[in-house]
């Protein structure tokens, strides 16, 4: 089984339901007034952290997430139902990026982030009723739900990270101080995916992460180490384990430099972590002399231990809890965890002359307005034109050199531009009323 720790997810929120265009018809009441109700809101898509999950595996197999659309409004003022939200559960410790920018950091159980907001329901004609226009033949289509692509990364939430060359005894340390039972064997790259374990020492509990061994070039992708270094990126302390026999016969003192360079090469954040240097396998014949050489260079900063006999393990744990106490507080990936964000529709727009008499109009507000326009309703078109004028689109198009007969594209919608003055919007009467008035004379 693969350890999935990075996955790209495509989310689409539900579209809003369309508003209804309807009038009340009663036997003895000819002009019952508009009663077309609004459409329901489309469902949102949320990410929620759950401490019960440990991998992003599910999303790896089902990366497309869609929320339900709102239902359409109906006559007799029957509002459309909202579409149900979809909640995607991810392990606590999942960091979410949108276009390479941090969007949310779900490090605590039940933390939520709205990944895509459902479109609002279109308004029915009852909503457009005013004193001046008592019978509007005007309704909006539902707003499109947001669509977005996110990159999710799982960062295990461990307090202590175990680093070192393959075969140094990292998994042996985890097995000795926690109830985790990782695979341990006398060959490099025994560990292929991170193992976590919970240790308790002198009433202090902490989580240890055992990751695959690092080799030279790990930070550039050699071996297995680099893809897992990010798991220890937000631990508070690193234990660097050294095999006195040296990795592949290399001098263990030189080996420390190699690992240090890899940590630095991966990220400055990793390089800045406090470290506990431990010469392991002190029961081996070369243990004592190697430890002596380390002591000369690193003085108090190095400890000797044996995961085989248990010698020195208590001292390592003492050092761990002392360091943890010094570097308190939960470790966050970013200082500003956005948590929940509200998406406001930006009012800004931009106009671009594409050549050949075609102009492109961009901006979330205008694109949404275009998507909500029901072109079969002249009154809706009139209102749309007034909106564009009010927010200054007309002016901007003129400035960009538009001429009558040129075309404007906005979202998936295209219209012809004219210079003709707009009809007054507010004093339009229902067609029927005018006709009846004439008839009564």
Task: Using CB under 6 A, list all residues that contact ligand GTP.
Answer: 164, 166-172, 184-186, 188-191, 212-213, 280-281, 283-284, 306-308
Q: Which does 188 bind (CB under 5 to 8 A by kind): Mg ion, ligand GTP, none?
A: ligand GTP
The entry of ligand GTP, Mg ion, none near residue 284 (CB within 5 to 8 angstroms by kind) is ligand GTP
Q: Which does 22 bind (CB under 5 to 8 A by kind): ligand GTP, Mg ion, none?
A: none
SS3 379: helix
Least distance from ligand GTP to the Cβ atom of residue 239, Å: 11
Site string for Mg ion, 181-200 (x = CB under 5 A): ---------xx---------
Least CB distance from residue 190 to Mg ion, whole Å?
5
The reply on whether position 172 binds Mg ion by CB under 5 A is no
- Note whether 171 binds Mg ion by CB under 5 A: yes
Distance CA 390, CA 404 (A): 19
* CB of 107 or CB of 281, closer to ligand GTP: 281
Least distance (Å) between residue 228 CB and Mg ion: 11
Least distance (Å) from ligand GTP to the CB of residue 158?
Answer: 15
- Smallest distance from the beta carbon of 185 to Mg ion, in angstroms? 8
Name the residue with the smallest CB distance to ligand GTP.
213
Nearer to ligand GTP, 75 or 312 (CB): 312
Q: Which of ligand GTP, Mg ion, none interacts with 283 (beta carbon under 5 to 8 A by kind)?
A: ligand GTP
Nearer CB in complex with ligand GTP: 164/430? 164
Provide φ and ψ at 402, rounded to 5°.
Answer: -70, 145
Please, what is the minimum distance in Å from the beta carbon of residue 165 to ligand GTP?
7
Q: Which does 186 bind (CB under 5 to 8 A by kind): Mg ion, ligand GTP, none?
A: ligand GTP
Tokens of residue 47, six digits = 């990410």
DSSP 245-312: T-GGG--HHHHHHHHHHHHHHH-HHHHTS-EEEEE--TTSTTHHHHHHHHHHHHGGGEEE--TTT-TT
CB-based contact 143:17 (threshold 8 Å): no
C-beta closer to ligand GTP: residue 43 or 166:
166
157 in helix, strand or coil? coil
Residue 371 is encoded by which pair of tokens?
A: 């998507």
Q: How many residues make up the chain in this entry?
A: 441
Residues binding Mg ion: number (CB under 5 A): 4
Angstrom CA distances, 434 to 165, 431, 438, 439, stand at 88, 5, 6, 9
CB of 212 to Mg ion, least distance (A): 7
Decide whether 171 or 219 has the Cβ nearer to ligand GTP: 171
Nearer to Mg ion, 54 or 190 (CB): 190
| Residue whose CB is less far from Mg ion, 174 or 366 | 174
Coil/strand/helix, residue 388: helix
Q: How far apart are alpha carbons 353 and 362 in whole angstroms?
A: 12
Q: Are 161 and 232 in contact (CB under 8 A)?
A: yes
Min separation Cβ 167 and Mg ion, Å:
8
Sheet containing strand 358-362, edge to edge, reads 350-355, 358-362, 407-410, 413-416
Beta carbon nearer to ligand GTP, 191 or 370? 191
Residue with tokens 């594209």: 409
Q: At what angle do helices 313-326 and 170-177 cross, to 10 degrees?
A: 90
Query: Residue 95's Cα: distance from chain center in Å?
Result: 7
Enumerate binding residues for Mg ion (CB under 5 A): 170-171, 190-191
């Amino acid at each position: 089984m693969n350890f999935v720790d990075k996955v790209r997810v495509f989310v689409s929120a539900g579209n809003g339901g369309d508003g209804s265009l309807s009038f009340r018809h009663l036997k003895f009441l000819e002009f019952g007034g508009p009663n077309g109700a609004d459409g329901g809101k489309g469902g949102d898509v949320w990410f929620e952290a759950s401490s019960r999950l440990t991998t992003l595996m599910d999303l790896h197999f089902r990366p497309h997430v869609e929320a339900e659309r709102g239902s359409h409004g109906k006559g007799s003022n029957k509002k459309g139902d909202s579409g149900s939200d979809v909640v995607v559960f991810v392990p606590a410790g999942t960091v979410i990026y949108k276009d390479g920018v941090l969007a949310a950091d779900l490090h605590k159980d039940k933390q939520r982030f709205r990944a895509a907001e459902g479109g609002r329901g279109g308004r029915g004609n009852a909503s457009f009723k005013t004193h001046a226009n008592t019978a509007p033949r005007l309704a909006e289509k539902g707003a499109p739900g947001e669509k977005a692509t996110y990159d999710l990364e799982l960062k295990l939430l461990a307090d202590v990270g175990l680093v070192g060359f393959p075969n140094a005894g990292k998994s042996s340390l985890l097995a000795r101080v926690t109830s985790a039972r990782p695979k341990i064997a006398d060959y490099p790259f025994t560990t292929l995916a991170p193992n976590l374990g919970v240790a308790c020492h002198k009433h202090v509990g902490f989580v240890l992460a055992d990751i695959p061994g690092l080799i030279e070039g790990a930070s550039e992708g050699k071996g297995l180490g680099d893809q897992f270094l990010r798991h220890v990126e937000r631990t508070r302390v690193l234990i660097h384990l050294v095999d006195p026999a040296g990795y592949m016969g290399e001098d263990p003192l030189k080996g420390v430099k190699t690992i240090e360079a890899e940590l630095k090469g991966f990220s400055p954040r990793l390089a800045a972590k406090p470290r506990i240097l431990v010469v392991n396998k002190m029961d081996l014949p070369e243990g004592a002399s190697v430890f002596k050489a380390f002591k000369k260079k690193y003085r108090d900063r190095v400890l000797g231990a044996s995961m085989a006999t248990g010698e020195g393990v208590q001292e390592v744990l003492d050092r761990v809890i002392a360091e943890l106490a010094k570097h308190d507080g939960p470790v966050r990936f970013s200082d500003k965890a956005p948590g929940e964000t509200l998406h406001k529709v930006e009012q800004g727009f931009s106009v671009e002359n594409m050549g050949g008499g075609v102009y492109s109009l961009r901006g979330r507000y205008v694109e949404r307005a275009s998507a909500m326009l029901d072109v079969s309703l002249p009154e809706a078109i009139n209102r749309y034109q007034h909106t564009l004028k009010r927010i200054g689109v007309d002016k901007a198009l003129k400035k960009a050199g538009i001429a009558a007969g040129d075309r404007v594209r906005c979202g998936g919608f295209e219209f012809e531009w004219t210079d003709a003055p707009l009809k007054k919007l507010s004093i339009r009467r229902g067609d029927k009323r005018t006709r009846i008035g004439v008839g009564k004379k």
